[in-house]
Structure 1
Amino acid sequence: MRKKIIYFLSMIFFAFLCLISNTTLVKADINGVTVTPLIEDDTTDVTDRFEIVGKPNAERTVKISISNFSINKLQLRIEPTNATTSMDGKIVYTDKVREGEFGLKHAFSKMTKAKMITLLPNKTKDVSFKIKLPDDKIDGLIMGGFNVYDTARNGAKGNANVPVWITGDNKAVGGVVTLHNLALDVIDKKPHIIINLQNKEPGQMKNVIVHMTVKRKSWLDRFNLGPDKMTADLTYGKVAPNSKIPVDFDQNQTPIKAGKYVIKGAARSGKATWTFKKTYTITQEQANDINKRCKGLIYNKTTTYILIVCVLVSLIFLIFWAIWYSGRS
């Protein structure tokens, strides 16, 4: 009983400290964990991220405070990465991003190192990171950040993000949207076709409106019996610099079919508009790999039925032709 009272009082004490603190808690999806960027710059009102304006080769040190209010000992990994854009138009830091992807010149993971910490119940630990800026001038915005997650669950049960924005001159840069690729994925045991657009410039974008269609080519199109055109109309509230913009086409219980897929669409942000058109090929091997990992798929047998009818009609025609030919002999 005494242990429960002590635990309850300690929880109230930590919560009180959080309320009176001048720093902003970054909401963590890890049960019982809070992550706080310790902003030491008194001249800024920004408290939910680190902002660095620096010259080439400059070094900065940032500090993160992590508290464990749970009853379990945790093994947490704090991993640097670049921001990406989620399917619902949010900035996230859960993907590992490498230099060269989506026009990215500088990967945040090369400026500092990941760290592992062990955090006992009802304990807080401050973790420092030394950030070394790139050798060359930084153009636009590098939107980096730290992804904090429980290694026992590998992020499956939640994570916390601490953004680190880095610029060379603090000047705003716009974005440019282009078509990147077609990808396949399995989400919740269902097949998905994902058309990845990309913001290939080092500038954050807001309110990007996307209209996209996907159509698989088929010989049945000439009879108006081909697969339906899939359409997506989406708005992305925020798009990270040098990141993909995933446009998701949930196939539900329809299996992926091999073939040529025609992609058409447009994106708009403010007064700028970009249009796209390209044909991608999904191989039978790719389709099989996705479908075998899904459950409850319903296969459309229209093509099979049409082929059976054609064969039967051909056989009937041949039989009548044979009878007619025999009668003339």
Structure 2
Amino acid sequence: MKRLLLILSLVVMILFPSAGFAKDTKESMEITENEKRAGFTVQAVLPENQINDRVSFYHLLMQPEQKQTIEVKIMNSSADKQTYKVEVINAATNKNGLITYDERDKKPDKSMTLPINEVAKPKNKEVSVEAYSEGKAEIDIHLPKDAFQGILLGGVRISLKSDDEEEESQGMAVKNTYGYAIGLVLTEQDFAPIYGETELKLTKLQPEIDYGSKVLEASIQNPYPEAMQNLTAEGKIVRKGQEKAIAKNKQEKVKIAPNSVFPFQIDWGMQEVSAGEYTFIGKVKGETKTWNFKEDFTITREIAKKMNQQTAFRIFIPSWWTTSFYVMGTATAVVTAWLVIRFVKRTKGREKREEE
């Protein structure tokens, strides 16, 4: 009997070999911003029309047609003279549910009638500061004559100009630059809150590839001039008419910038995307309101094929491997049957001899 168990164990090991994944233990050679000092710091110089002087960002009460120049201190703590880029960038919302001030090339949402970078502009796009010295960047603000409601939100970004900047602009190099962003909030009503929960809308569903992953991106729009915070967003993909989730996602502590879109994503994972009719079921819960979304969408054969082919995480099974598997499986089964029959015959023969 022990011999039989040993034989069967060997057969199982042949048919179902253990699979392992190699772990990438190579450490990243990239030095993060936290591991290397930028060599400078910045500080907002808050003007008299600052609404809240207990914060470190600009929150200014303005009037229609008002002109004003605000200053940002730049303290160079390095031993070299440094040059800094000065930008004003519209607030945006990224897929992680964070308000960002670095998406300079992103087109404003159609609900944004007055982008902040159209009324607030750097006086000089570059500022140089001597070693161990203090300099300043100036931002000119000029509001239109027509009053606006709510808030305008953006960021004053100060970043170290790289020596290889010209090469980078030509696509010859990729290099991170160190920088700081100071929030800039403009309003014409002293009672206008920065955060609110007026309305959210689902404006678009888009199956696509994002950094090698198959995702469904749900564009959740905040069409009002107020930011949102402490939101919980969750959603799932189901076959149309069914309830079982094919894929799902949940994000907490989500923030959404005014007049912007939160690109909420659901990752399909390793499974193949099939053509067909689907339904997105989503919910965003705030402190006082909850928004429910449900919308059907179609994945065509062309889209499914494109998503499956372009994903960075694909499992390829060569046809020869499948053929070999079946051949080996059949051969193993035959050998196993022969060994079992032989073992049974030997056992019976031994028992017969013992009886005699």
Fold shared, TM-score > 0.5 on shorter chain: yes
Change (3 A) 1:148 1:185: farther
Q: Which amino acid aligns with 1:146?
A: V
Give 1:272's aligned residue: 289
Aligned residue type for 1:38: V
1:192-203 to structure 2, matched below 5 A, reads 192-203=215-226
How far has the Cα of 1:206 moved from its partner?
A: 2.2
After alignment, is 253-262 or 207-216 more displaced? 253-262
Instruction: Say whether residues 1:129 and 2:134 are aligned partners.
Output: no
Residue by residue, what CA displacement relative to the aligned partner does 1:253-279 show, whole Å, maximum 9, x if unpaired?
456666554211122222322221223
Within-5 A mapping of 1:27-46: 31-41=38-48, 44-46=52-54
Q: Tell me the distance in 2 between the aligned counterparts of 1:269 and 1:242.
A: 17
Local SS of the residue matching 1:235: strand
Unpaired runs of at least 5, structure 1:
1-26, 306-329
Q: Which amino acid aligns with 1:168?
A: E
Equivalent runs, 1:144-223 vs 2, <5 Å = 144-150=154-160, 152=165, 156-172=176-192, 174=196, 175-183=198-206, 184-187=208-211, 189-215=212-238
Q: What is the alpha-carbon distance in structure 2 between the residues aligned to residue 75 and residue 289 of structure 1?
A: 45
Shift of 1:163: 0.9
Using the TM superposition, give the Cα deviation of residue 193 of structure 1 relative to its aligned residue in structure 2, in angstroms. 3.1
Aligned partner of residue 109 in structure 1, secondary structure = helix
CA distance in 2, matches of 1:118, 1:292: 49
Task: Say whether the 8 Å CA contact 1:186–1:290 is kept in structure 2.
Answer: no
Rg larger for: 2
1: CA distance, partners of 2:277 / 2:101: 33
TM-score by length of structure 1 reads: 0.67
CA shift for structure 1 position 246: 2.5
- Determine the C-alpha separation between the residues in 1 that align with 2:150 and 2:262: 19
Alignment match of 1:54 (pick from 34, 58, 62): 62
CA-CA distance at 1:228 after TM superposition: 5.1
| Distance in 2 (alpha carbons) for counterparts of 1:169 and 1:200 | 19
Matched residues in 2 for 1:134 and 1:246: separation?
Answer: 31
Distance of 2:309 and 2:37 partners within structure 1: 32
Amino acid at match of 1:105: T
TM-score (norm 2): 0.62
Whether 1:105 and 2:129 are equivalent positions in the alignment is no
- Give the AA of the match of 2:151: L
Q: What is the count of residue pairs matched by the alignment?
A: 268
CA distance in 2, matches of 1:140, 1:59: 19
Residues 208 and 71 of structure 1, relative CA distance in 2, 3 Å threshold: same
Structure 1 position 73, deviation (Å): 6.2
Match of 2:213, as an amino acid? K
Q: Between the two proteins, what is the percent identity of the paired residues?
A: 22
Alignment of 1:228-247 (within 5 A): 229-247=246-264
Give the CA RMSD over aligned residues.
3.8
Q: 1:158 to 1:263 in 2, by over 3 A?
A: farther
Match among 260, 280, 283 for residue 263 of structure 1: 280
Aligned residue for 1:95? 103
**Structure 2: any 5+ residue segments left out of the alignment?**
1-33, 169-173, 323-356
1:71, 1:33 → 2: CA distance? Answer: 11
Instruction: Give the conservation status (yes or no) of the 8 Å contact 1:106–1:134.
Output: no
Query: Partner residue of 2:22?
Result: none
1:169, distance to aligned residue in structure 2 (A): 0.8
Shift of 1:56: 1.2
Q: Deviation of residue 286 (structure 1)?
A: 5.8
Taking a change above 3 Å as real, the CA distance of residues 32 and 297 of structure 1, as seen in their structure-2 partners, is: farther
Q: For 2:64, what is the secondary structure of its paired residue?
A: coil
Instruction: Describe the shift of the 1:62–1:259 C-alpha distance in structure 2 as closer, same or farther (beyond 3 A).
Output: farther
Deviation at 1:212? 1.1
